[in-house]
Amino acid sequence: MTEILRVENLRKSYDGFLAVNGVSFSVAQGELKALIGPNGAGKSTCFNMLMGQLRPTSGQVFFDGENITGHKPRDIWRRGVGRTFQITGTYQSMTVIENVQMALMSHHRKIFSIAPRAWKLYRDEAFEFLRTVAMEEQADRPCSILAYGDLKRLELAIALCHRPRLLLMDEPTAGMAPSARIELMQLTADIVREQGVSVLFTEHDMDVVFAHSHHIMVLNRGELIADGNAAQVRNNPQVQEVYLGGGTLFKEDSHA
Amino acid sequence: MNLIRRTVLGMAAAAALAPAAALAQDTIKVGEINHYKRMAAFAEPYKKGIELALSQINGDGGVLGKDLEFVFRDDQGDPAEAVKIAEELMTREGTVMFTGTILSHVGLALSSFAAEKGYLYLASEPLADSLVWGSGNPYTFRLRASTWVQAAMLAEEAAKTDAVKYATIAPNYAYGQDAVAAFKENLTRLKPDVEFVAEQWPALFNIDAGAEVQAIERAKPDAIYNVTFGTDLAKLVREGGDRGLFDGRSVYGLLTGEPEYLEPLGDEAPEGWYVTGFPWYGFEDGTPGKTFVDAYVEATGETPKIGSLVGYMTAQSIAAAINKAGATDTASLVAAFEDLKVEGTPIGELSYRAIDNQSTLGAWVGTTALEDGKGVMVDWEYKNPAPYMPSDEDIKAMRPAE
Amino acid sequence: MAFFLAQFLTGLANAAALFLVASGLSLIFGVTRIVNFAHGSFYMLGAFIGVTLMEILPGHVGFWGAILLTGLAVGLIGAVVEMVVLRPIYRAPELFQLVATFGVILVIQDLALMIWGAEDRMGPRAPGLRGVWRIFGEPVPKYDIVLIAITPFILFALWYLITRTRLGVLVRAATQDREMVGALGVNQAWLFTGVFALGSALAGLGGALQLPKGGADLLMDFNIIGAVFVVVVIGGMGSLPGAFIAAVLISVLNVFGVTYLPQSTLVLMYVVMAIVLIVRPYGLLGREEVAGEHGQVGAPETPIRPYGPLGMALVAALIAALAIVPVFAEQFVMTLIVDMIIFALFAASLHFILGSGGLVSFGHAAFFGGGAYAAALLVYHTDTPMELAFLFAPLAAGLLALAIGWFCIRLTGVYFAMLTLAFSQLVWSVAFQWRDVTRGDDGLVNIWPAEWLNAPAPFYYFTLALGVGGIVFLRHVIHSPFGYALRAGRDSPRQAEATGIDVKRVQYAAFALAGAMAGLAGGLFVFSKGSVFPTTLEIGESFDALIVVFLGGVKTLAGGVVGAGFMTVVEDWLTRLEYWRLLLGLVIIAVVILMPEGIVGSLRTLWNRLRHTDEEEVR
């Protein structure tokens, strides 16, 4: 499998505190890869550096062979990286479908256009994306009244608009009911399979992680302590030590 | 959209206002536009002066057999608002002309509007020279003595002294700048060796008096020319007095002797300044000035300010013009105002010059002193403006509209 | 050297009152996030109450006692204002409260006039402190020395209050994170009232303390408010030490400015503020505003949609109605409608960046007046034909907006607002002081329309076409991809950036467009009035537009236009009355309290409630 994302020795320090300390890994084309770790391990910091929201203290990020370290989020997006947020960021004053249309207007480079009526633009196309995430029935509802899980799915649809080759999903199922989590991850897995997209996601729910990811990385105190398939990670002594307090996460033999 | 509601409101406004125009004209109306709230301290005595004159005029039978009535409107000190009000007064209130304003820029806006629309405007209080000269027009007349004339009177006195180094302090806007320029020009003409060692420009009504006093002191002038007034003057006098700025220096104060500005200073009023002002307390019995003062005190229970005088003479001038014209159309009124003679004013006979539409109202000059814990003018005299005016040729050259 | 020292002392003495007033404003903002424009009014009340008390109470005890009592009295008034006017509207959109405080200004102005009369009051001297002490031979007024000595005590007392008392802990917590205070089980309403009262008391103290150096007059409120905001912003909003440093900085610089650059008195502090904000976008000691902190408080905006057939028909009918006005109406009705349309276009242009972009500009008059001046200058100096000069108005204003926006757009929230204010003051001062070109406050007069337009009806149609056209155009842009991108950047800049939208660039373009449209309004304005003065560039002009946008409803598309219409009519009525400021202030406060979503927003909510269509709000 070809490599789509490569991270080399990524570091981020805040006033001497090393939030991320020398992390290196890669993500392959069509791979669904999880990044897990306890609270404060540095997962979100990592994500923010990959997507350009944060500038790394040192280290490099390559996307599709090109160095994108320190590039602006919109530039990284333009190259084919989509992202969803831990705390959703949708346009509250628009309808569900307009949120998707907005992303499509950006995709089609229509941001500075003042001639057409925005709500008519790319409506059919947007509808297809909503259908992909099973949101088509809510297309014309105001985004501000959506349930949290629906917002997450909407964000996924937005992230797909630019036909990304890599999707970064920060806690995609946080705050969702268990059944909805499985549904969303199933959906993600389908997208990966059908569209050949790679996905890197962080997650707290180990059921989700072990059920869906091809590979798993474990981050602890800013350092990567494991990177492998489910069995490898589960049997890693260091990982077991880190998660000892939260042993319930490793209950029985899950769905690996 | 919204435009609906907007127009409904607009229509409602129109409907509500309509009856005003429909009223039968049993009085002759004059519009009076002023900054009644923004410059309340100056506008209120002015209004009372008008009201006193109106009660006398109408008591004597009014004008052309009808009562003379003033419609007072507040323009918030905004030129655009003033223009709007002027239009409303002329087109729907049925006023025959309009008058008013203290601030020069509002006066200039009204003057331009009057010329464009062919209405008559009597600028009562604004002092700007350009009102009758550089921006003068046939439809605008002005009552008060201009900045130029008052500054020239002070310069004449200053030229008599040995002082050569002068400092000036004036509020940082057109009036202050004109006042300083006029003083400099007149003084330099009379006494070419004078030197201006400091020019201070505090923001209007926002003076940093301590700093201004230090800056003037630093320049070590022989004499000081002051144009600040109101609260700026109070602060300047207090800081300057405390710090000894005025000790051993002659000070010339434009408008400083006017009761509006001198009275609030109380027992801290400066002594020995040569100023223009309004020494109503010194008028002798039997003079028209004293008669006005007595009538004003009786009618209002207050002592007069210079605004009271201007308001009073404004109403007198307009009444005289209407009587002379024998009609109320603008053309007749404009014709009547040219070379108009107004009898029985507090200064005796007042007239309006045909050459520049400026009245012959002069100014009182004198020296400030403290009496009974109050600032007053002593050794004062009333000066006619004529000797201080530019030549007729100069004036004609300045007036572009003719 | 001695002279420098004396100047420095003068600056320090001036800083005393300024710091007191500014610290009060900073506290209020830090905790309640209210931009309190009425703060100058509390300062003025302090001066008048102080004068009155000092006349009653004799001697040393009387003088200093009067100052303390004044602080208490003004604090009490502040508490009442907070409870009656502000408490009902904390849930309203960001900065909505400043409209209410504007109403408070008007009310206090007229009440002060009623109570104390129009005449200026000279402040009483502090007993025993008349005259000067000599320091290295330079005279320094005794009271200046006392003020300089007092200021550190006040700073210390405030510092103690903030760092060592429970109230202080709460205040700091609230400044950092408002929600947390609620979570701590503290009654937020009373904390706000307390802080507002404290801030007002400080303003009142400042007003009373400056009496021996000045006095009390009815223009004090507006005269100090500019300087106070400059100080608070330079120091960093919410920072007391910042306010102290800034008060000293501004006061001392002013003193030196007076000596070495006497013409600079009008703008020096705004120049300093602009420089500080460009270098340090959050003031000297302020901290970065957390994104979303000021975000959309209150109910989220409903999605927008162009009018359906009924709406279109109504708009068409309305325009048709406006078009036949000249047939039956008298001249003044046309003038009133022309004024309304011009103001509505001006307000709509501000509303465009404020509503859709979330950019609160305090200096929008720079573009309105800038456009007016651009046209007027061409006509005045070069006799340019009116048609050409008129075209120049939006063009010049748009370019000006590009220049100003380049600096401002990098800032956010209140700092953005204050930098726009600083630049508009610079523009104003150019018009005011460059007399050779602009004739200063004598203004440019005789700027009338071309022959074919110079009559009421033709100019009416001209304004109708361009004014309504401009408003419709702005509306169209709001519905276009560009307008959507602008709203996207406001709703979630993070998401927008992550989906390829250059938020700052979109905002910059919108700022320029809004400037150009304000310039168009300015062009119409100058030819309708025949003259233009620096007043069109004043802060007051910017705030007129801001207030009508808020009154109309920020989160509605028609808010600016409706607000402008409402205000024009209400003002036209009320200014005929003696105490119109009192009434106008009460009207504003009433609208703010009764219609927290603005006129249009509240009417829409009411309409929706009547139709029971809460769920399906999208039409």
Q: Given a cut of 50, is residue B12 above it in pLDDT?
A: no
Q: What is the pLDDT of residues C488-499, one digit of tens each?
A: 999 999 999 999
Chain B residues touching C332 at Cβ < 8 A:
17, 87-88, 91-92
Chain B residues touching C468 at Cβ < 8 A:
3
Going from N- to C-terminal start, the domains of chain C cover: 2-221, 311-536
Work out the mean pLDDT of chain C and round it to a whole number.
89
- Please provide the distance, in angstroms rounded to a whole number, between the alpha carbons at the two ends of chain A: 22
Distance from CA of C346 to the nearest CA of B (A): 14
Residue C394: pLDDT band with limits 50, 70, 90 = very high
Q: In whole angstroms, what is the distance from residue B81 CA to residue C446 CA?
A: 16
HSE-CB for A162 with a 13 A CA cutoff: 27
Q: In whole angstroms, what is the distance from residue A217 CA to residue A215 CA?
A: 7
Q: Given a cut of 70, is residue C336 above it in pLDDT?
A: yes
Contacts of B63 (CB under 8 A, 6+ apart): B28, B57, B319, B322, B323
Distance from CA of C580 to the nearest CA of B (A): 9
**Minimum mean pLDDT range among A13-22, B30-39, C521-530:** A13-22
Distance from CA of C467 to the nearest CA of B (A): 12
Topology of the domain comprising B26-145+288-361: Rossmann fold (3.40.50)
Share of chain C above pLDDT 70, in %: 95
Residue B329: pLDDT band with limits 50, 70, 90 = very high
Chain C residues touching B112 at Cβ < 8 A:
445-446, 530-531
Q: Given a cut of 50, is residue A104 above it in pLDDT?
A: yes
Task: With CB atoms and an 8 Å threshold, state whether A85 touches C494.
Answer: yes
Determine the residue type at B165.
Answer: K
Residue B345: pLDDT band with limits 50, 70, 90 = very high
Backbone angles phi, psi at A22, to 5 degrees: 70, 50
Q: What is the pLDDT of residues C133-156, one digit of tens each?
A: 888 888 899 999 999 999 889 889
Chain C residues touching B266 at Cβ < 8 A:
122
Q: What is the pLDDT of residues C541-569, one digit of tens each?
A: 999 999 999 899 888 888 889 999 999 88
Q: For residue B304, what pLDDT is reported?
A: 96
Work out the mean pLDDT of chain B and round it to a whole number.
90
Task: With CB atoms and an 8 Å threshold, state whether C300 touches A141.
Answer: no
Q: Which residues of B110-130 are buried (b: 16+ CB within 10 A; e: fewer)?
A: bbbbbbbbebbbbbbbbbbbb
Residue C393 near residue C449, CB atoms below 8 Å = no
**Minimum mean pLDDT range among A170-179, B144-153, C321-330, C529-538:** A170-179
Q: For residue C612, what pLDDT is reported?
A: 63
Mean pLDDT of C159-164: 86
**C/B touch flag: 3 or more CB pairs below 8 Å:** yes
Place of tokens 């701590």: C184
Greater model confidence, C164 or B6: C164
Interface test with B, best of C9, C442, C542, C606 (most B CBs within 10 A): C442
Q: What is the pLDDT of residues A181-207, one digit of tens each?
A: 888 888 888 888 888 899 999 988 888
Q: How would CATH label the architecture of B148-282+363-388? A: 3-Layer(aba) Sandwich (3.40)
Q: Which residues partner with B66 through β-bridges? A: B63
Pairing relationship of beta strands B374-383 and B363-371 according to DSSP bridges:
antiparallel
Q: In whole angstroms, what is the distance from residue A10 CA to residue A58 CA?
A: 6
Pairing relationship of beta strands A3-14 and B223-226 according to DSSP bridges:
unpaired
Task: With CB atoms and an 8 Å threshold, state whether C322 touches B7.
Answer: yes
Determine the residue type at B203.
Answer: A
Chain A residues touching C304 at Cβ < 8 A:
93
Determine the residue type at B218.
Answer: R
Mean pLDDT of A154-164: 93
Q: Which of the listed ranges B168-177, C471-480, C587-596 does the model predict with the highest average pLDDT?
A: C471-480
For A87, other C-beta atoms within 10 Å of its C-beta total 11
Task: With CB atoms and an 8 Å threshold, state whether A74 touches C499.
Answer: yes
HSE-CB for B217 with a 13 A CA cutoff: 23
Q: Which of C306, C485, C494 sits opposite A111 (nearest CB)?
A: C485
Q: For residue A248, what pLDDT is reported?
A: 44
Mean pLDDT of A49-61: 91
Q: In whole angstroms, what is the distance from residue B309 CA to residue B315 CA?
A: 10
Backbone angles phi, psi at A29, to 5 degrees: -55, 130
All domains of chain A in start order, with CATH: 3-90+163-216+223-250 (3.40.50.300), 91-145 (no CATH)
Q: What is the pLDDT of residues C30-87, one digit of tens each?
A: 888 888 999 999 999 999 999 999 999 888 889 999 999 999 999 999 999 999 999 8
Task: With CB atoms and an 8 Å threshold, state whether B112 touches C445.
Answer: yes
**B/A touch flag: 3 or more CB pairs below 8 Å:** no
Q: For residue B10, what pLDDT is reported?
A: 45
Residue B210 near residue C258, CB atoms below 8 Å = no
Q: What is the pLDDT of residues B127-167, one digit of tens each?
A: 888 889 888 899 999 999 989 999 999 999 999 999 999 99
**Minimum mean pLDDT range among B29-33, B222-226, C378-382, C611-615:** C611-615
Q: Given a cut of 70, is residue A2 above it in pLDDT?
A: yes
Question: Which subunits count as partners of chain C given 3+ CB pairs below 8 Å?
Answer: A, B
Place of tokens 């700093």: B211
Q: What is the pLDDT of residues C194-229, one digit of tens each?
A: 999 999 999 999 999 999 998 899 989 988 988 998
Q: In whole angstroms, what is the distance from residue C439 CA to residue B104 CA?
A: 12
Q: For residue B7, what pLDDT is reported?
A: 44
Q: What is the pLDDT of residues B244-276, one digit of tens each?
A: 999 999 999 999 999 999 998 989 999 999 999
Chain C residues touching A106 at Cβ < 8 A:
485, 499-501
Chain A residues touching C302 at Cβ < 8 A:
93, 142, 144
Distance from CA of B70 to the nearest CA of C (A): 13
Distance from CA of C614 to the nearest CA of A (A): 11
Share of chain C above pLDDT 90, in %: 52
Mean pLDDT of B3-26: 46
Which pTM does this prediction carry? Answer: 0.89
Q: In whole angstroms, what is the distance from residue C272 CA to residue C268 CA?
A: 6
Taking CA atoms, B12 is separated from C70, C328, C566, in Å, by: 45, 15, 11
Distance from CA of C474 to the nearest CA of B (A): 13
Q: For residue B172, what pLDDT is reported?
A: 87
Place of tokens 């320049």: B219
Q: What is the pLDDT of residues C183-195, one digit of tens each?
A: 667 777 888 899 9
Residue C391: pLDDT band with limits 50, 70, 90 = very high
Residue A85 near residue C494, CB atoms below 8 Å = yes
Q: For residue A245, what pLDDT is reported?
A: 54
Q: For residue A155, what pLDDT is reported?
A: 92
Residues 422-441 of C with CB under 8 A from B: 432-433, 435, 439-441
Chain C residues touching B198 at Cβ < 8 A:
262
Share of chain B above pLDDT 70, in %: 93
Q: For residue B3, what pLDDT is reported?
A: 41
Task: With CB atoms and an 8 Å threshold, state whether C303 touches A85.
Answer: no
Contacts of B220 (CB under 8 A, 6+ apart): B165, B197
Chain C residues touching B17 at Cβ < 8 A:
332
DSSP state of C410: T
Q: How many CB pairs under 8 A join A and C?
A: 125
Q: For residue C292, what pLDDT is reported?
A: 41
Q: In whole angstroms, what is the distance from residue C363 CA to residue B228 CA?
A: 29
Q: For residue C619, what pLDDT is reported?
A: 38
Backbone angles phi, psi at B127, to 5 degrees: -100, -15
Task: With CB atoms and an 8 Å threshold, state whether C319 touches B83.
Answer: no
Q: In this structure, is the dihedral angle defined by the CA atoms of residues B294, B295, B296 and B301, taken in order, positive or negative?
A: positive
Chain C residues touching A141 at Cβ < 8 A:
618
HSE-CB for C40 with a 13 A CA cutoff: 20
Q: For residue C486, what pLDDT is reported?
A: 96
Tokens of C290: 């957390």
Distance from CA of B256 to the nearest CA of C (A): 15
Pairing relationship of beta strands A223-228 and A215-220 according to DSSP bridges:
antiparallel
Distance from CA of A94 to the nearest CA of C (A): 5
Residue A3 near residue A26, CB atoms below 8 Å = yes
Q: For residue B402, what pLDDT is reported?
A: 60
Q: For residue C178, what pLDDT is reported?
A: 66
The 3-state secondary structure of chain B, one letter per residue: CCHHHHHHHHHHHHHHHHHHHHCCCCEEEEEEEECCCCCHHHHHHHHHHHHHHHHHHHHCCCECCEEEEEEEEECCCCHHHHHHHHHHHHHHHCEEEEEECCCHHHHHHHHHHHHHHCCCEEECCCCCHHHCCCCCCCCEEECCCCHHHHHHHHHHHHHCCCCCEEEEECCCCHHHHHHHHHHHHHHHHHCCCCEEEEEECCCCCCCCHHHHHHHHHHHCCCEEEECCCHHHHHHHHHHHHHCCCCCCCEEEEEEEECHHHHHHHHHHCCCCCEEEECCHHHCCCCCHHHHHHHHHHHHHCCCCCHHHHHHHHHHHHHHHHHHHHCCCCHHHHHHHHCCCEEEEECCEEEEECCCCCEECCCEEEEEEEEECCEEEEEEEEEECCHHHCCCHHHHHHHCCCC
Q: What is the pLDDT of residues B271-311, one digit of tens each?
A: 999 999 999 999 999 999 999 999 999 999 999 999 999 99
Long-range contact pairs involving C127-136 (C-beta distance under 8 Å, separation at least 24)? C127/C59, C127/C60, C127/C63, C128/C60, C129/C212, C130/B242, C131/B242, C132/B242, C132/B243, C132/B244, C135/C2, C135/C5, C135/C6, C135/C9, C136/C1, C136/C2, C136/C5, C136/C6
Burial class (CB in 10 A: 0-12, 13-18, 19+), A137: exposed
SS3 A32: strand
Going from N- to C-terminal start, the domains of chain B cover: 26-145+288-361, 148-282+363-388
Task: With CB atoms and an 8 Å threshold, state whether C120 touches B239.
Answer: no
Tokens of B243: 């710090």
Q: For residue B40, what pLDDT is reported?
A: 84
